[in-house]
Amino acid sequence: MIDRDLIKRALAEDLQGGQDITSVATVSGDEKIIANFTARKSGVVAGIDMARAVLEEVGLTDIAVLVKDGASIKSGEVLMTVRGDTRAILLAERTALNFLGHLSGIATLTRTWVDAVAGTKCIIRDTRKTTPGMRLLEKYAVRMGGGTNHRMSLSDAALIKDNHIAAAGGVAQAFSKVREKFPTSEIEIEVDTLDQLREVLPLKPDLVLLDNMSPAQCAEAVSIVAGATKLEASGGITLDNAKAYALTGVQFLAIGALTHSAPVFDIALDLRAE
């Protein structure tokens, strides 16, 4: 996946209308080098196409991509090689690594969560807790890690939360207003208690979000619902207890940390003379 407008903005941000004064001062402009994008740890890669597009944006064309997004990689593995003008490679270096490291970090963390619930039917799903302007890329990275996307935007589906319920005057009122105005849209309702779950079931929501419930409460919710709707658990879920939540029978675990707390994956650009 490539966002060329974002790449242009990132490079422009680096230059701020000027030039790379360090490279202009230290590199004559005639040098050609080879540079390897090398993983410094093991994980899952995402953002290879973005990194390659950054290189292309500064005029580099001799690029060899050695792995695909979604691939498991090992520490020391070379992911991509570029040959060409030294100044151009140095200009592209940080922007390419920023995209590649950030997206690979999301993919790697997502794979860790997916592995944590392996052996169950539960699906790891992301949220809208994304970096402004980077949602499509970050949710793409989640998919590369084996997770699933929730809503891309507020128009994809309705998610009735406590503030909507308060504004509408109640759960039933909020649900009926959404159904009346958007009769074909999927409707998800957030509940904080099992009593609220029982209250919303007659409305026939497409999905119910169980907010900050324990695994025991989620298991009871599965029993109450008895297949009438899908359930998603959110809040208080960690890698240590993810399997316990998954084994309750809920269909999804909503994990905002996939995108808002993923550590940057350590990738370096190693230069050598042509």
Residues 154, 24 share a domain: no
**Residues with a known catalytic role:** 94, 129, 161, 190, 211
Per the structure, the complete domain to which residue 85 belongs is given by: 4-108+263-273
Residues 269, 251 share a domain: no
Residues 179, 151 share a domain: yes
pLDDT in tens, the chain (274 residues): 999 999 999 999 999 988 888 888 888 878 889 999 999 999 999 999 999 999 999 999 999 999 999 999 999 999 999 999 999 999 999 999 999 999 999 999 999 999 999 999 999 999 999 999 999 999 999 999 999 999 999 999 999 998 998 899 988 899 999 999 999 999 999 999 999 999 999 999 999 999 999 999 999 999 999 999 999 999 999 999 999 999 999 999 999 999 999 999 999 999 986 6
Please give the tally of structural domains in the chain: 2
What is the token pair recorded at 70?
């979604």
Residues 269, 254 share a domain: no
Closest to 124 measured CA to CA, from 133, 132, 116? 116
Distance CA 69, CA 79 (A): 10
Amino acid 142 reads V
Please give the DSSP secondary-structure letter assigned to residue 118.
T
Residues 175, 156 share a domain: yes
pLDDT of amino acid 136: 98
Helix pair 86-116, 48-57: axis angle to 10 deg: 170
Please check whether residue 218 is in contact with residue 250, taking contact to mean a CB–CB distance below 8 angstroms: yes
Residues 151, 57 share a domain: no
What's the pTM? 0.95
Residues 95, 119 share a domain: no
pLDDT of amino acid 274: 64
Residues 120, 247 share a domain: yes
CATH at residue 41 = 3.90.1170.20
Distance CA 166, CA 161 (A): 9
